[in-house]
A and B are shown apart, each in its own frame.
Chain A
Amino acid sequence: MANQQIIVSLLVNNHFGVLTRISGLFSRRCFNIESLTVGETENSKISRMTIVTYGDEYVKDQIVKQLSKQVDVKTVQIMDPANTVVRELVIVKIASKKSERTEILEAVNAFRANVIDFSTNSISVELTGEISKIDAFIEYVSSYGIIEMCRTGSTAIGRNGYCLTEKKKTIKGGK
């Protein structure tokens, strides 16, 4: 079966060490991590993680099952792409000669990015969007020269009634 992008959302105990547990689990089970984000939820005892990974059906199945076994994991959900909003934030510091500045600003406008710093030699821009949009923006501005850049990794939330609730470790065996 072909590899596909998988977005896993988790509710976990907001303890120290939980991040290590989860990332350690991924590395020792040979699941790759494209990106991992984590932050507190409306309940300060619970954190939410969003992990973007790639894999086939086997990997997907094992990711859910192995994560569900973790004592600190409350909920595991493979996000349904059709029903999920995914966002990532990037900050790019673009090298800009005076002559290129207008061009760059046009791109910033077209992508609906924001300028957050403006200097003689560079422009820093923030952009939020889906992974593909971020990729496209980075590709576009790379011709000017990217001095440095940081991406946060994706975070995701289900639409409307599609929510993560605690203690929903739904697991079934077989195929």
Chain B
Amino acid sequence: MKLSGAAILIEVLAEQGVDTVFGYPGGMVLNIYDQLYKNSHRVRHIITCHEQGATHAADGYARVTGKAGVVIATSGPGATNLVTGIANAYLDSIPLIAITGNVATDFLGRDSFQEVDITGITMPITKHNYIVKDITELADTLREAFAVATSGRPGPVLVDIPKDIQLAETNFVPISKKAAVAKSAIDEDALKEAIQLISAAKRPFIYAGGGVVSSDASKKLLEFANKIDAPIGSSMMGLSAVPWNEPRALGMVGMHGRYAATRAIADCDLIIAVGVRFSDRATGNKVSFAHGHKVLHIDIDPAEISKNIPAYTGLIGDVKQVLQILCKRLPQFTHKTWHAEIVKLKDHVDNNLQMAKSRLTPQSIIERINEFMPKDGIVATDVGQHQMWTAQYYKFSTPRTFITSGGLGTMGFGMGSAMGACIGKNKKRTVLFTSDGSFHMNLNELATAVTNELPLIIVVLNNCVLGMVRQWQTLFFNKRYSNTTMNRCTNFAGLADNFGAKGFSVKTKKELDLVLEEAFKYTTPVLIDCKIDSDEKVLPMIPPNGSIKDIILR
């Protein structure tokens, strides 16, 4: 059947099982939007307030569903507005398809109106990208884009489609979605080495990351941990992989990790790293981190093995598949002394730092909201102290429920991603923990949340400062608070009301309780402005490039 490029795009989206896309129209995607208009029953398009919000929404959508998120933008400024969102997805290995329009091929290279070289711009932050200059290659390029984004280590892929290609027609041959590529076999020698390492270990430690979440391997991970009798620490990206109340779970490792987790990873004799990339935020000083134990690194991306921390053995493959094999082949181990040490670490006062009970503290807010949330409710964050507090105090019980910007640390990620996640899970109850700085960046998307009647509760942990930066200024810059005290007059509750959402403002725990009772009755956007002290700290903290020896607890 003869179809235009724009129509082919819709066909391929449908073929790939895409039912929702996020985006923003403009001159160079008019034809695509015309097709979206005609095909609204097949592919739903959510219009945001800004293309950045749309990319973050597609990213959040991908995180909760495990499918590729799709974002569409026009050429020039539309395309450049995607950049932060694409980089965010790249650093967190999120499958994302970005479709951009561009000027017609004979206008390319002439600084035409709204022309930018978006494939050039996004080359370093995409897994791969394409500009399609031949209509007959469009369908297969789009299919390949989906395959690249979702296979192996997932990541963003951008396809730039010049206007004349959207208009041109060609014969379109539909195909049914290709079966997932068969998983490649795991290297037998490496498996044997891994089994030897695990068998020789007296104090094994499992370090779980986002790869466990993205390969849906949570259950296998627990089975594996039981089999080898090891505690589990997580990177921030891996937090939702292990239920908080799992006795083996020690919580987050690293700069703002739990004492027990960071201590145990330093004291173990074998780190079994599973789908994790040893970010500097988790390891601190690499030399002291790598000291005193061997590392068995399991990851689907060979380039991660020994990239940041030298691995004794690398096991390359899908995390779930590797764990399955290991569980089958390994005997049951018990490590009584190690286990006893871990139990002690978990009970250690340093592991259970509590904030003051009298004030309205971040901890009390997060814990209280946690009680109202369904177990599989979605928790999104922006970036800063509030993000770390959420990672520390929220009790995650379901994989894919923690939506946060790990690798890029993108302030402004919250609103877009919370919406995308909420939509991806058919309007599941969603809470966004944010703060005044981050929320100011992309609060425009409140309008989108209202229009789409999302059951989203926005909790502004309002410290009236760029708290995370302020904390560093307090600790390392002798309290010279350069540009972190904002003196803004925004009335967040009133702002929410004026966007058509419902706004609340609370100063005490009592007020919070009353408001929460009401807020959770809403199935549309609610904002709760929680006034907290500007000097609340994220603790524990290991200063950058430090080690467990340098941990600041109080």
Q: Which residues of A contact B (CB under 8 A)?
A: 17, 20-21, 24, 28, 58, 61-62, 65-66, 68-72, 171-175
Contact = CB atoms under 8 A, between A and B. Distances in A.
B323 interface: no
B311 A71 contact: no
Contacts of A17: 119, 123
B127 A175 contact: no
Interface in B297-331: 297, 299, 301-303, 305-307, 310-316
A69 B311 CA distance: 19
B193 interface: yes
A60 to B, nearest CB: 11
B77 interface: no
B187 interface: yes
B306 A21 contact: no
A82 B190 CA distance: 29
A173 B310 contact: no
A174 B189 CA distance: 11
A15 to B, nearest CB: 9
Contacts of A24: 123-124
A58 B120 contact: no
A174 B119 contact: no
B313 A174 contact: yes
A52 B302 CA distance: 23
B120 A61 contact: no
B314 A68 contact: no
Nearest to A21: B123
Nearest to B313: A174
B314 A174 contact: yes
A40 to B, nearest CB: 20
Nearest to B296: A174
Q: How large, as a class, is the contact surface on chain B?
A: 20 to 34
B143 to A, nearest CB: 13
A65 to B, nearest CB: 4
Contacts of A61: 306
Given A20-B120, A175-B306, 11 more contacts: A61-B306, A70-B128, A71-B128, A171-B316, A172-B316, A173-B313, A174-B190, A174-B297, A174-B305, A174-B312, A174-B313
A20 to B, nearest CB: 7
A69 B124 contact: no
29 contacts: A17-B123, A21-B123, A24-B123, A24-B124, A28-B124, A65-B302, A65-B303, A65-B305, A65-B307, A68-B303, A70-B128, A71-B127, A71-B128, A72-B128, A171-B316, A172-B187, A172-B302, A172-B314, A172-B316, A173-B190, A173-B297, A173-B305, A173-B311, A173-B313, A173-B314, A173-B315, A174-B306, A174-B311, A175-B306
Contacts of A70: 128
Contacts of B314: 172-174
B148 interface: yes
Contact of A71 (B148, B302, B313): B148
A61 B316 CA distance: 15
Contact of A58 (B187, B193, B299, B306): B306
B273 to A, nearest CB: 11
Question: Is chain A's interface secondary structure helix, strand, loop, or mixed overall?
Answer: helix
Contacts of B127: 69, 71
A28 B124 CA distance: 8
B contact face: mostly helix, strand, loop, or mixed: mixed
Contacts of B148: 71
A82 to B, nearest CB: 26
B311 to A, nearest CB: 5
Nearest to B147: A71
A20 B117 CA distance: 13
B409 to A, nearest CB: 19
A145 to B, nearest CB: 41
A174 B124 contact: no
Contacts of A68: 302-303
B13 to A, nearest CB: 21
A71 B119 CA distance: 14
A65 B307 CA distance: 10
B300 to A, nearest CB: 11
Given A21-B123, A24-B123, A173-B311, A69 B305 contact: no
B131 to A, nearest CB: 8
A141 to B, nearest CB: 40
A39 to B, nearest CB: 22
A104 to B, nearest CB: 45
Given A172-B314, A174-B312, A69 B303 contact: yes
A175 B302 contact: no
A72 B305 CA distance: 22
A171 B120 contact: no
Q: List the 9 shortest-distance A-B pairs measured between CB atoms, nearest first.
A: A173-B314, A173-B305, A65-B303, A174-B314, A71-B128, A174-B313, A171-B302, A174-B311, A173-B316
Most buried by A among B302, B311, B315: B302
B197 to A, nearest CB: 10
Contacts of A175: 306, 310-312
A70 B313 CA distance: 24
B301 A69 contact: yes
A172 B312 CA distance: 12
Contacts of B124: 24, 28
A172 B190 contact: yes
A173 B302 contact: yes
Contact of B306 (A20, A28, A71, A173): A173
Nearest to A58: B306
A70 B157 CA distance: 12
Nearest to B189: A172
B193 A174 contact: yes
